[in-house]
Amino acid sequence: MNAAYRWFVGLIDPFAVADGPPPQRLWPFVRWALSGSEKAIALTLAVTFIAGLSELVAASFTGWIIDSTASGANAGFWVPFWPLILFGLIFFLVVRPILFAADAGVTSILLGPHLFPLVLSRLNRHTLGHSMRYFENDFAGRISQKALQTSRALTDVVTEVADVGIYSLAVFGGSLLLMASIDTRLLLIFVVWGGLYVVALRYFIPRVKRRSAARAGARTQVTGQIVDTLSNVAAVKLFAHNTFEDRATLRELEIFRAKALDFGVLSSGFRMVLMTLGGMLPLFSILGALYLWTTGTATPGDIAMTAMVSTRLSQLTNRIGRVAISIFTNLGEIQDGIDTLAPAHEITDRPDAAQSASGPGGIQFDGIRFAYGGKVTALKEFSLTIRAGEKIGLVGASGAGKSTIVSLLLRLYEVEQGRILLDGTDIRDLTQEALRQRISVVRQETSMFNRSALDNIRYGRPDATDEEVFDAARRASAHDFILTLQDHTGRSGYSARLGERGVKLSGGQRQRIALARAILKDAPVLVLDEATSALDSEVEAEIQAALAQVMQGKTVIAIAHRLSTIAQMDRIIVLEQGRIAEMGSHTELLTKKGLYARFWNRQSGGFLGAQDAAE
């Protein structure tokens, strides 16, 4: 029994990787998302179809009983009816319960718990591969909502098609055979009714699908608005903008309400048409069977069987109507999700890209031009060679191109012209993971997960031991304050959760954990993007001493507005409007009395205007 159960639930691997990227058309996308589950779905459809046919056996049983009683005088209970009684006991108490238990099992045990993680894991995997531009152009809450919505909708479509669609098809198809066995004129009634039903579906379904997609899009806009507000709730409170944000949410809700009303009006009309059709079938089929009885063509059992079958189909009509609306509502939501989630990746690995890299960390920027896909150029013919183990600082006004250089090195964006080499290899000849494994980064805006302090630091190297994590925290001056942490569930120290985006930590604490993470990663290239900007002077002095040790033997690129933090670098690169304006050591650049000297004097001797006046 256990082996059979394991085989049964193992028909779908809920975490199997799909072949290639998701298609951007509906049915190819459905095949992509469900690939690997075909056997399970086929089994489900077969079981459901057989369960549907069993309804016709139940209706026929009633007809057989009535005809048997009408065919002769009362001769007792058991003797004339024992075959029907035995059949009824076996069918209704054994066969039918097993069939419907199997029908419930394939949908609630095999499909439901497996299809949702199968689809969601594939969508999530594809979403993670998008470039930074993709995430900058949308809300994180909206993207996650789309992934969940699409996965749920596709799971519901499959289970509803199997549970109701195939079941109803079996009942309708079997009904045609039963009616044909009585009289072809009865069959004609069912065929005409079926034609009218198809016409109604063809009229309403495309409209339901379009309005459903519009409603789904409006709903996710509401989600995005609320998530955006709550993600920035500190700013909302500091600027006293509760009312402003409430109005913004109400505007999105009003759009959703209008789309939902359009959908509701259409679905109500659809239900009325289906109910009318549902009433027509039993009325005309029973009257037709009655007419055939008056002509001697049909038996009383045929009338009873026709009544049961047509009434069952009429009841199914209402259910089919609800499910049809649900299915095509879900298809609209799937299409809406495809539009958001399935676009091709902007940055992809070459088929022959290396899965790993080695080397001391020499970097070369060769003729880089980059404009973020627009007209304003962030970098213009930028060329720079950084020797392995060399430590450089990047200086310049906001928008000069400092962060762009780092983003391109990490392939968060693709260079538009030129190339970047890491240890002599074009970074496009490495997989993105292989490239980023060679670079440790501490950014001005630190990324914290709502996980424990231990997990956040260990993110730099997941196989690190606890002692290695503790050592990295000590070197980043984070160990002592981590020991004092406590979350709302009572977990403390390294086990304490840090809250969403590290909200429970100060800016300096977040950066020290980010530094510990980079120290633990121990990559040959270290990027510091304003790594000590949120620290007070005393803590900064501690971390600068730690960084001096960490930077030994590594290639370092440090971005800083606080020039004292990079004064000891081997070279300082001064950027202006995407080009290198000056380059040299701290002493050399001060001697030149150029742009760097102006920056330095501003920070050490007052405002620029005062310095200009002194000159």
Structure tokens at 272: 């009325």
**pLDDT exceeds cutoff 80 at 354:** yes
What pLDDT, in 10s, does the model give residues 462-484? 999 999 999 999 888 889 999 99
452-474 core/surface letters (b: 16 or more CB in 10 A; e: else): bbbbbbbbbbeebeeebbbbbbe
Do 276 and 372 sit in the same domain of this protein?
A: no
**In whole angstroms, what is the distance from residue 602 CA to residue 591 CA?**
16
Q: Are the C-beta atoms of 555 and 473 separated by less than 8 Å?
A: no
> pLDDT band at residue 534, thresholds of 50, 70 and 90?
low
Name the domain boundary from 341, 373, 407: 341
The pLDDT of residue 405 is 93
Do 62 and 98 sit in the same domain of this protein?
A: yes
Going across the sheet that includes 555-559, the strands are 439-442, 525-529, 555-559, 391-396, 571-576, 579-584
- Taking residues 392-398, report their average pLDDT: 90
**In whole angstroms, what is the distance from residue 468 CA to residue 461 CA?**
10
**pLDDT exceeds cutoff 70 at 614:** no
The pLDDT of residue 501 is 66
The pLDDT of residue 183 is 76
Do 336 and 364 sit in the same domain of this protein?
A: no
* Cα–Cα nearest to 403, from 559, 170, 241: 559
Q: How many residues does the chain have?
A: 615
> pLDDT band at residue 76, thresholds of 50, 70 and 90?
low
Count of domains in the chain? Answer: 2
DSSP string, 283-301: HHHHHHHHHHHHTTSS-HH
- Computed over every residue of the chain, the mean pLDDT equals 84
80 vs 214 pLDDT, higher one: 214
The pLDDT of residue 43 is 92
**In whole angstroms, what is the distance from residue 316 CA to residue 173 CA?**
13
What pLDDT, in 10s, does the model give residues 322-345? 787 788 778 888 988 898 899 888
**In whole angstroms, what is the distance from residue 211 CA to residue 233 CA?**
33
8-state DSSP, 565: G
Name the domain boundary from 313, 341, 369: 341
**pLDDT exceeds cutoff 80 at 81:** no
DSSP string, 45-90: HHHHHHHHHHHHHHHHHHHHHHHHHHTS----SHHHHHHHHHHHHH
Whether residue 538 lies inside any domain: the answer is no
> pLDDT band at residue 1, thresholds of 50, 70 and 90?
low
Do 320 and 405 sit in the same domain of this protein?
A: no
Do 237 and 385 sit in the same domain of this protein?
A: no
> pLDDT band at residue 212, thresholds of 50, 70 and 90?
confident
> pLDDT band at residue 533, thresholds of 50, 70 and 90?
low
Helix/strand/coil (H/E/C) assignment for every residue in 350-370: CCCCECCCCCCCCEEEEEEEE
What are the angstrom distances between the C-alpha of 271 and each of 79, 192, 266, 321, 361? 49, 20, 9, 6, 67
Do 371 and 322 sit in the same domain of this protein?
A: no
Whether residue 546 lies inside any domain: the answer is no
- Taking residues 157-169, report their average pLDDT: 85
* Cα–Cα nearest to 103, from 156, 166, 151: 166
Do 323 and 393 sit in the same domain of this protein?
A: no
- Taking residues 144-164, report their average pLDDT: 90
Q: Which of 216-225, 306-315, 370-379 has the lowest mean pLDDT?
A: 306-315
Whether residue 274 lies inside any domain: the answer is yes
Do 154 and 103 sit in the same domain of this protein?
A: yes
CATH number at residue 274: 1.20.1560.10
Do 167 and 227 sit in the same domain of this protein?
A: yes
**In whole angstroms, what is the distance from residue 302 CA to residue 209 CA?**
40
Q: Parallel, antiparallel, or unpaired: how do β-strands 391-396 and 417-422 relate?
A: unpaired
* Cα–Cα nearest to 157, from 316, 37, 302, 16: 37
The pLDDT of residue 610 is 38
Helix (H, G, I), strand (E, B) or coil at 346: coil
Whether residue 146 lies inside any domain: the answer is yes
Name the domain boundary from 312, 341, 370: 341
**In whole angstroms, what is the distance from residue 407 CA to residue 180 CA?**
72
Do 130 and 188 sit in the same domain of this protein?
A: yes
> pLDDT band at residue 156, thresholds of 50, 70 and 90?
very high
532 vs 406 pLDDT, higher one: 406
> pLDDT band at residue 175, thresholds of 50, 70 and 90?
confident
Q: Which of 102-106, 200-204, 439-443, 606-610 has the lowest mean pLDDT?
A: 606-610
Going across the sheet that includes 379-386, the strands are 379-386, 363-370, 417-422, 425-426
Rounded to two decimals, what is the model's pTM? 0.73
The pLDDT of residue 611 is 40
Do 364 and 330 sit in the same domain of this protein?
A: no
CATH number at residue 425: 3.40.50.300
DSSP string, 1-53: -HHHHHHHHTTS-TTPPPSSSPPSSHHHHHHHHHTT-HHHHHHHHHHHHHHHH
Q: Which domain holds residue 396?
A: 360-436+561-615
**pLDDT exceeds cutoff 50 at 492:** yes
> pLDDT band at residue 116, thresholds of 50, 70 and 90?
very high
Whether residue 107 lies inside any domain: the answer is yes
Q: What percent of the chain has pLDDT over 70?
A: 92
**In whole angstroms, what is the distance from residue 590 CA to residue 387 CA?**
23
Structure tokens at 499: 């809250």
The pLDDT of residue 425 is 94
What are the angstrom distances between the C-alpha of 443 and each of 181, 474, 534? 78, 20, 11
Whether residue 454 lies inside any domain: the answer is no
187 vs 343 pLDDT, higher one: 343
- Taking residues 51-73, report their average pLDDT: 74
Whether residue 444 lies inside any domain: the answer is no
> pLDDT band at residue 431, thresholds of 50, 70 and 90?
very high
Whether residue 566 lies inside any domain: the answer is yes
Do 368 and 313 sit in the same domain of this protein?
A: no
